[in-house]
Structure 1
């Protein structure tokens, strides 16, 4: 028996219940891993509330974790018991132990800690595809990063700066603005006090940005479009303020022949070789010091509900991990 968080009905943080569960032996192509750290992400709240439907009820939330291989199933040759690994898999991370497809795991270098890996697999791989695949950032580009003090935001700012871009961030408080600047943002706009698009135009001399990375969604959608230069790209990759809906495609024409995309990590990591390449790129950026992962809060597994409350109240900065 191992401890795991279970959700029997969708709702608020109170539906996250700590229970005893029994795991089977890993099947063909699977790994049994002992979690050492679990990542906390907004997508976890989407499944908890029912915004994203879980494949079955009850379920254990969470996608990313890092730990040690305890056992391998038939046909697994890439990993062995005792290996350090990190993974972004289906639901099931909020647990002391979990079973994951070997194809969803990557070897974890000694230079990267369990906590750093667990807190950056989803966020860091998201940043990897946004910066290198959705829009390939190059020296001289200007990028706008919403929620620049958050887990994904701090990685985007640092990595974008390392790629040679001018980085503009948005934040909700002076403290968060300072954190974003500490993570390489050249300019930070306080969205509660300033008009984001107007400030972007000031900063860029009226040009606008080449790309906007927007994980906030509904509240920032129009400001994101208005911050782009003609032919600019809006990469909308999250819904922290709610989903964007009712879009009139004509506004993309009137605002400068703009592009909008809604990419997902699952699509990018569907091919094993692509996922391994992305992880190597991410771990290389961390090992070299181009990207540092700020872990600013830790919650025991039993306090997963408190972790969700902190995340949803915008009370967190950087990354938060759950410790089983």
Structure 2
């Protein structure tokens, strides 16, 4: 029987279980997973309500079956897809499920390892840039002729930040300023200007203002996409955002990640969003449909490149190791992916080395070991 991985809230163990191949609902695509991607949320969200679960949402593989209302996909198609977060049959499994409107045909010039870097990260970026911030979309007219419209991206070498930069460039948004640290060379390939976030806040702000001045622009930024949203980036935004009409999008909620959450607030003239990819499954289904079709075309034409990736060996056991690497801050301009067929372990509870362990060795976390996202009010029926 097919296997799937259940990540334990401690992020120190994974349970490999057997589960039947899912039966598709009307608009479902059931996918035989070749490669699964991992994301920071996958080690953060298992803490939410102490819920051990298969949190994988990045899928790449072959279509196994489709629901009765699916007409654009058939068994055998190569696809990359976004699983709906917090629902059953995630990507840490031999078979996973995604709605047809968040499934993309994967061109033959893109490997499964490359394709799996796209759904969550690019999906988050398009929600932030085009649904929330309402920047012009690449297919809406002559992008090259658009006037200067500065965009600052905190964390531009993260998968989400990098896709935001690539898509913004396709849209004719410029100049694009990105903050980066170790991966400065990669950042330089994505944006017009790179600012080192490791310097003091004062120097970072001065560097951004100097760039804008040299571009002949106001020293305040009209658009900021914060792909970090912790460690002070939220507060720095307040000092460089345009106060009258500025737009901010964050990937984490300020009410949980600001340094002083109770008193953190944006000025009245600033519009702020906490952008979440899950809304393409809730309130933005047509938006998701349009973009996931378009992503496939951009990949086929070579206009959009996947994110750099690293294969973590071990299959479904490797998923746990990948999440630990994310948790411990090892990732820099890289997405950790796992080939499901490499799973050698049988059914049971295992550590990241594939050694079987007892449940008593891995109790649920408590106190300071619980990630703040345990309190995040996950969207329900389209309402945050």
Classify the TM-score, shorter chain: 0.7 to 0.9
Q: Which among 171, 176, 195 is matched to residue 167 of structure 1?
A: 176
Counterpart contact for 2:62–2:75, Cα < 8 Å? yes
Q: Which among 94, 98, 122 is matched to residue 124 of structure 1?
A: 122
**Structure 2 equivalent of residue 258 of structure 1:** 270
Moved more, 58-67 or 286-295: 286-295
Q: Secondary structure at the match of 1:106?
A: strand
Q: Secondary structure at the match of 1:193?
A: coil
Equivalent residue pairs, number: 309
Q: Which among 238, 256, 260 is matched to residue 225 of structure 1?
A: 238
The within-5 A match list for 1:1-324 is 1-7=1-7, 9-11=8-10, 13-17=11-15, 19-29=16-26, 30-50=28-48, 53=49, 57-90=51-84, 91=86, 92-135=90-133, 136-137=135-136, 139-164=147-172, 165-173=174-182, 176-182=183-189, 184-195=190-201, 196-205=204-213, 207-219=219-231, 220-230=233-243, 231-238=245-252, 243-244=257-258, 245-249=261-265, 251-253=266-268, 257-270=269-282, 271-300=284-313, 301=315, 302-316=317-331, 317-324=333-340
How far 1:208 moved relative to its partner? Answer: 2.0
Q: Following the alignment from structure 1 to structure 2, what is the Cα–Cα distance between the partners of residues 268 and 233? A: 21
Q: Secondary structure at the match of 1:86?
A: strand
How far 1:153 moved relative to its partner? Answer: 1.5
Q: Secondary structure at the match of 2:304?
A: coil
Moved over 6 A (4+): none
TM-score, normalised relative to structure 2: 0.73
**Structure 1 equivalent of residue 370 of structure 2:** none
TM-score, normalised relative to structure 1: 0.85
User: Greater strand share, 1 or 2?
Assistant: 1
Moved more, 121-130 or 76-85: 76-85
The gaps in structure 2 that reach 5 residues or longer are 137-145, 341-384
Q: Which has the larger radius of gyration?
A: 2
Whose relative contact order is higher, 1 or 2, with alpha carbons under 8 Å and at least 6 apart?
2
Q: Following the alignment from structure 1 to structure 2, what is the Cα–Cα distance between the partners of residues 75 and 280? A: 17
> Residues 132 and 281 of structure 1: is their aligned pair in 2 closer, same or farther, counting only changes over 3 Å?
farther
How far 1:223 moved relative to its partner? Answer: 0.7
RMSD: 2.5
Q: Secondary structure at the match of 2:225?
A: strand
The gaps in structure 1 that reach 5 residues or longer are none
Q: Secondary structure at the match of 2:222?
A: strand
Q: Following the alignment from structure 1 to structure 2, what is the Cα–Cα distance between the partners of residues 234 and 152? A: 15
